[in-house]
Every structure is written in C-alpha cells, then in structure tokens.
Amino acid sequence: LVSRKAKQTDTAIDLAGTVIGGGTPVMVAGPCSVESYEQVRQVAAALKAQGVTVMRGGAFKPRTSPYEFQGLGIEGLKILKEVASEFGLQTISEIVDPSHIELACQYIDVIQIGARNMQNFELLKAAGAVNKPVLLKRGLAATIDEFLHAAEYIVSRGNSQVMLIERGIRTYEKATRNTLDISAVPILKQESHLPVLVDVTHSTGRKEIMAPCAKAALAAGADGVMVEVHPNPAEALSDAAQQLNIPQFEQFYAEVKKSGLL
Ligand code: PEP
Ligand code: MN
C-alpha cells in the first residue's frame, strides 16, 4: 500500500493548511522534551514569529537510561495543546504505548513513533487504527525495506496518513551522533508515495552542520526538515548538547531558506 506501484500520486498530509508532501517543504521545530508550560510557550512564540506552523515536543521520552528524565507524560501533551491553541500551531509528539494512542488524539495533531519503536508492531497497529497523521521515524539500525514495511503496518490497518522521517542510522562513524543517510530520501521518494522528512538533530548531533544537512535533505527531495529548539539548551532535560537556542534556530532557518529550497 505504501509503494509507488500501489499509488502513483504523492500522499499529501494537511495539517490545518500546512501541507506536508504537497510540493512545498515544511520546517518542523520544537524542543526535544516538553519540560514546562513556559518553556514550550517561549519556543512557540519564536516559531510563530518565524512563520513556522508545526511544533514538535516529546512528552513520553524513550531514554537510554531509566534514571534520565522520562518526560511529563499526559501532562506534557496537555501543555502542548494549550500552547498550540494559543499560537495556532500544529503539534507532533511521540507516543510509546499502544494504549495511549487514542487518548493522544485528543491533544496532538500528529503521533510520532520513535526510532526505538519503529518495529513495535502493536504500537504500529494501534496507530493504524486511528484517524490521525503519524510521523514514523526510521529505526536506529533499520533498512529502508524494514522502514517501509513498518509504514505498511500502519497503512494496512486503515490509516493512510503516514509520513516517514530519516533520523540517521548506526554506523562505525563517530564524528556524528548517527549517520544521516541522505540516499534514503530519494530512494524513499522513488519507492513510496508517502512524504519524507529529515531530522537534522538526531542524525547529526552537531549544531554547526545542521544547516548544510538540511539543505542536502531538501536538495535530495525531502518534504520537510525537523530540528530541535530549546530556549536554554544547556539546561535542557534531554539532548542538551544538540538543541539549538532561539537565535541559533533563527540563523539556521534563515540559512536554509537562503538556499531557495524551502
Ligand atoms: C525524538 O524525536 O524525540 C526522538 C527521541 O528521536 P529518535 O526516536 O529519532 O531517537
Ligand atoms: Mn531529542
């Protein structure tokens, strides 16, 4: 169902007028984690001022260590909803438990399925059973074929509103957090009609190369770019090393736009 053979026309996902996959690439930005109402509000105000309409923010955080901040849970989704309605933004947040999928639909506009859960088949099936766009991240060590099959789980359950996001894969290279697989973008676009985005934060883990990588993603045909932004990254409860602060985001966004690709 996700293949070009099954459907020739591109799938476009309309988020209250912001269309992902409709030919105009979209910038998605926001904090790694929802930490407080005030923190999300500061980011939302900055995004709104820049003309960004889709904000991300994690409330259920799949952390490597159980001793690290695990997210605010449903309370975090409520914060997203409140801030999004104040600023007229669309929201994306990760859900990790199949039993939270339906509830999450009340608070957020896009359900994110994280890299660590790309092959959590019960979660994929639950996301396939609701009428809500899904942003599916590529697994840390998933092949493109496995990625597309994960998307197929969602679409085959009846939810055709799926977006794919390349977020870097594990290789021997240590210069970046993960290895951004740029070639996945044109391959996914050729093989599938689903929108394809690139997460420049989790793939690179390096602020100074996020703008060139975003431009590369767009040049390769990506329908959007995702980047993490925090009012005070040094104090962030997750991904402190790689979130952009607000002025850095503005500079990043300006540089990407200057390319004419966005
Ligand atoms: C995220 O986007 O918040 C995240 C945890 O990323 P990933 O699942 O790609 O590691
Ligand atoms: Mn993060």
Nearest atom of ligand 1 to the alpha carbon of 61: 5
**For residue 75, what pLDDT is reported?**
98
Question: For the stretch 120-133, what's the b/e string if a residue is b when 16 or more beta carbons lie within 10 angstroms of its beta carbon?
Answer: beebbbbbbebebb
35 pocket-lining for ligand 1 (C-beta < 6 Å): no
| 237/217 Cα distance (integer angstroms) | 28
Residues 115 and 94 sit within 8 Å (Cβ to Cβ): no
| 36/75 Cα distance (integer angstroms) | 9
HEC string for the chain: CCECCCCCCCCCEEECCEEECCCCCEEEEECCECCCHHHHHHHHHHHHHHCCCEEECECCCCCCCCCCCCCCCHHHHHHHHHHHHHHCCEEEEECCCHHHHHHHCCCCCEEEECHHHCCCHHHHHHHHCCCCCEEEECCCCCCHHHHHHHHHHHHHCCCCCEEEEECCECCCCCCCCCECCCCHHHHHHHHECCCEEEEHHHHHCCHHHHHHHHHHHHHCCCCEEEEEECCCHHHCCCCCCCCECHHHHHHHHHHHHHCCCC
Q: Give the ligand with the smallest distance to the CA of 32.
A: 2
166 pocket-lining for ligand 1 (C-beta < 6 Å): no
Q: Calculate helix-pair angle for 144-156, 184-191, nearest 10 degrees.
A: 40
Show the domains of the chain with their CATH numbers: 13-43+53-60+71-257 (3.20.20.70)
Which distant-in-sequence residues (6+ apart) come within 8 Å of 245 by Cβ?
229, 230, 231, 232, 233
Please state whether the predicted TM-score (pTM) of the whole model is above 0.80.
Answer: yes
DSSP bridge partners of 197: 165, 224
Q: Whose CA is nearest to atom 9 of ligand 1?
A: 115
Q: What is the pLDDT along the chain (262 residues), one digit of tens a residue?
A: 999 999 999 999 999 999 999 999 999 999 999 999 999 999 999 999 999 999 999 999 999 999 999 999 999 999 999 999 999 999 999 999 999 999 999 999 999 999 999 999 999 999 999 999 999 999 999 999 999 999 999 999 999 999 999 999 999 999 999 999 999 999 999 999 999 999 999 999 999 999 999 999 999 999 999 999 999 999 999 999 999 999 999 999 999 999 999 9
177 pocket-lining for ligand 1 (C-beta < 6 Å): no
If you measure from the C-alpha of residue 112 to the centroid of ligand 1, how many angstroms do you get, rounded to a whole number? Answer: 9
Specify the amino acid at residue 27.
M
If you measure from the C-alpha of residue 252 to the centroid of ligand 1, how many angstroms do you get, rounded to a whole number? Answer: 20
168 pocket-lining for ligand 1 (C-beta < 6 Å): no
**ipTM entry:** 0.99
**For residue 56, what pLDDT is reported?**
98
Strands 110-113 and 134-137: parallel
Token couple for 240: 């402190």
Token couple for 85: 């309605």
